[in-house]
Amino acid sequence: MTSNLGESTLCFVDMRISAADEQLLSLLREDARAATADIARRLGLSRTTVQNRIARLEQQGVIRGYTVRIDDELERNRIRAHILITLRPKQMAAVVKALQGMHEVRVLYSISGDNDLIALAVTATVGEMDVLTDRIGAIDGVERTNTSIILSTKFER
């Protein structure tokens, strides 16, 4: 997949990244362990250019780290859920801090609408998910929760 990379600029908060950087980040999301030479070939750039771009993005804090994506077969045996959380006024900071301490909570988003937060949680059993949702509901500042068990992942990027 060779592409013609223009240098239009997109803005992320105070960070500016080019369209080429966007495409590089997209490939890294697919496989952060891909060989630089393979990425360079897919982008139509030199290996050195790709290495320099990655180093710059890391230094700028655009790339904050690399992670592991667990095989779907293993994840299918785990209970995953989205937990919608509604807070009482002015309780965001305390609730976020409490949720950070729960290793089962993998991701926490602040959202618009009727709820304030949505958490992605993973446990080994339905019983453990039940206990987790009770623990979240018991956090001072949480008004209510609504949990949806994830049945399958149709795709992930």
* pLDDT the model gives residue 11: 43
pLDDT > 60? residue 18: yes
For the 19-60 domain, the top CATH level (class) is mainly alpha
pLDDT score at 15: 60
The answer to pTM > 0.85 is no
Look at residue 144 in the predicted model and tell me its pLDDT: 97
Crossing angle of helices 36-43/19-30, nearest 10°? Answer: 130
**CA distances, 135 to each of 48, 88, 142, 146, 155 (Å):** 50, 16, 10, 13, 30
d(CA 60, CA 58): 5
Mean pLDDT over each residue of the chain, to the nearest integer: 88
Residue 51: both structure tokens together: 């290495």
Domain spans in the chain, listed from the N-terminal domain onward: 19-60, 72-149
90, two tokens: 């002015």
CATH of the domain spanning 72-149, picked from 1.10.40.60, 3.10.350.10, 3.30.2350.10, 3.30.70.920: 3.30.70.920
Beta strands in the chain (DSSP E): 9-12, 15-18, 79-87, 105-110, 117-123, 142-149
pLDDT at 154 over 90: no
Q: Whole-angstrom Cα distance, residue 53 to residue 5?
A: 13
Sole residue written with tokens 């904050």: 64
Residue range 46-101, pLDDT digits in tens: 999 999 999 999 999 999 988 887 776 777 789 999 999 999 999 999 999 999 99
Q: Does the pLDDT at position 3 exceed 80? A: no
Query: What is the percent of the chain with per-residue pLDDT over 70, rounded to a whole number?
Result: 89
**pLDDT per residue as tens digits for the range 21-55:** 999 998 998 889 999 999 999 999 999 999 999 99
